[in-house]
Structure 1
Amino acid sequence: MWLLVGLGNPGSRYAKTRHNIGFLVLEELADRQDLEFREKTDYKICDGSIEGEKIALIEPLTFMNRSGSAVRKVVDRFAIPPENIIVVHDDLDLETGRLKVRRRGSSGGHKGLESIIQCIGSSDFIRVKIGIGRDQRVPVEKFVLSRFAKEELPAVKEAISRAADSIPFIISEGIEKAMNRFNKK
């Protein structure tokens, strides 16, 4: 079984912000698979299959900095090993719309990833990172909670689509082939 985690913050206030791009990708994937999210206490979840593999998609409702507690509950419930977890999240250090698939790594200062690493006790999960850019004039905490500029939207929509494409590819073809295919500019 695979666990697909989209990172973001709950509520309409944050719905289309840069920090919520992980939610947007999972919602795109759920739409493609004709899956509907159900709300639990700490997360929204839907389940189904991709490429013959059972999957669970979750959006933590614990806010970004505490995402790990929701992920831990689902990991424990389904006994999912870290290497079968794919976390989709925003990345300030990538240009807006750029996609990068990674096998594992540190949190890179991302509070949602830090929380997951701490709660599951491993950093050996797959990441699908989507660039949200950076504006040096705006504090990071404010920038990640801002909406994309109108001129960024075509690149963002393309990145969401490519990220949703990458997940079934990772599951069916493996992480190495996915990195070779999706990490190109």
Structure 2
Amino acid sequence: MIKWISNIFSSTKKEDHTDSMKPEVHEHQKNNIESVSNKFLIVGLGNIGAEYVNTRHNIGFKIVDHLAKKEGTQFETAKLGSLAQFKFKGRTFLLLKPNTYMNLSGKAVQYWMDKKNIPLENLFVITDDLNLPFGTIRIKPKGSDGGHNGLKNINLILNTNQYTRFRFGISDEFKKGKQVDYVLGDWDDNEKTALPERLEIASEIIKSFGTAGLENTMTAYNGK
């Protein structure tokens, strides 16, 4: 009888000891985990300077500029770039335009990922693509740089190509030896007419990435 009572108390102590070993998660830690998963860094690639504003190579800047205006937010000068922010459906979208010039884009991307504690899966990079017809949309979860110097530097600095990129087709309608002039040239009249509708779709894609997820966004918009 005494042994039986002793066993009961012994068992209870073991259970209490096990419970006390469980790590305690405080409310502020829960909130931090949730806030990190709900923050997205949207990087539009381009070159700074008035001479590049309306060039094909600056479509990344143009898309995030359009979205910022649509959401009623403004870019402010920050370290290694310009930054704007807005919230949508409980998500925080950080829009970044690196000021490092295209070839050094990775430095700004890494800095703001670290600064804002953005996980790699919440990084979204927007770039031009010569291999796609004008206005064609291609969203991919990873991939090579495809000869794009901005992506090349991001891959190098982050030491990975496992991040989402949104390629916007600018076509390859240039004569031999004129690629640089074409990429750094202004949109033609037909492209200028079509751009507003494409920019609207691009804005939808960014918000879809943060709310509906990558797979659903690719299904809904790739090739659209």
Q: If the length of structure 2 is used for normalisation, what is the TM-score?
A: 0.79
Higher relative contact order (CA 8 A, sep 6+): 1
Distance 1:136 1:28 in 2: 27
Q: CA offset at residue 32 of structure 1?
A: 1.5
Does residue 1:110 correspond to 2:148, yes or no? yes
Does residue 1:184 correspond to 2:223, yes or no? yes
Q: Deviations over 1:42-95 (max 9, x none)?
A: 200012222211221100011111111111110111121211001111110110
SS at match of 2:203: helix
SS at match of 2:186: coil
Does residue 1:17 correspond to 2:81, yes or no? no
Partner of 2:31: none
- Aligned pairs (5 A) from 1:58-137: 58-137=96-175
Over the aligned positions, Cα root-mean-square deviation in angstroms equals: 1.3
AA matched with 1:158: E
Contact 1:3 1:85 in 2 (8 A): yes
Contact 1:43 1:62 in 2 (8 A): yes
AA matched with 1:75: M
Structure 1: segments with no counterpart, 5+ residues: none
Could you list the structure 1 runs, at least 4 aligned residues long, displaced by more than 3 angstroms after superposition.
none
Distance 1:174 1:34 in 2: 24
Partner of 2:91: 53
Distance 2:153 2:47 in 1: 14
* More displaced stretch, 62-71 vs 131-140: 131-140
Q: CA offset at residue 174 of structure 1?
A: 1.1
Question: More helix by proportion, 1 or 2?
Answer: 2
Contact 2:127 2:168 in 1 (8 A): yes
Contact 1:96 1:156 in 2 (8 A): no
Q: CA offset at residue 128 of structure 1?
A: 1.3
* Structure of higher CA gyration radius: 2
| Percent of pairs with identical residues | 34
Contact 2:174 2:182 in 1 (8 A): no
AA matched with 2:163: F
- Aligned pair count? 185
Partner of 1:172: 211
Structure 2: segments with no counterpart, 5+ residues: 1-38
Distance 1:89 1:55 in 2: 18
Q: If the length of structure 1 is used for normalisation, what is the TM-score?
A: 0.95
Distance 1:144 1:161 in 2: 22
SS at match of 2:216: helix
Q: CA offset at residue 132 of structure 1?
A: 0.5
AA matched with 2:122: N
Distance 2:125 2:61 in 1: 10
Partner of 1:26: 64
Distance 2:118 2:153 in 1: 17
